[in-house]
Amino acid sequence: MIARLVLLFGMVLSGIAPHGQDARSESDRILGEWTTAEGKAKVLITRCDSLYCGKIVWLKDPLKNGSPVVDSKNTDPKLRDVPVLGMTILRGFQYDGDGEYDGGKVYDPESGDTYSGKLQLVDARTLELRGYVLIPLFGRTEAWTR
């Protein structure tokens, strides 16, 4: 009993428990399902090891000519038959603090292009995604909602 109290007291003094829990819960606020700006898809953001990623879990129009929509515009011909539903389109985002996630890549199945990306959690219901080439100045931002 005394050993547990000493351990707990040591953790509180060192700040391990409060900082670890607060930092983890703050960065994980992005987790969950988000509807894209035009409402064509829903993306589930999860943890992928220590980073964040997102995959398409719902499509407004999941079929084309009676078959599942595939990644027909992918630059790699071998991947053009891969279904868009279930596809990972966000990869490698790291939490930078203050609701910002950076360092990731965004894949757009409508164009077949991959962009550098930034995510900004504006509030509990709004996520801004910025895809860009080279620097964020050369890009486009769209708002996703829960």
> Model confidence over 101-112: pLDDT tens digits?
999 999 999 999
The CATH fold assigned to 31-145 is Lipocalin (2.40.128)
Beta carbons within 8 Å of 102's beta carbon, 6+ residues apart: 93, 94, 96, 118, 119
Burial of 15 (0-12, 13-18, 19+ CB in 10 A): exposed
* Beta strands 63-64 and 67-68, pairing class: antiparallel
> Model confidence over 73-89: pLDDT tens digits?
999 999 999 999 999 99
Rg (CA), the chain: 19
- The answer, as to whether pTM is greater than 0.85, is no
If one counts every other C-beta atom within 10 angstroms of the C-beta of residue 73, the result is 12
Domain extents in the chain: 1-28, 31-145
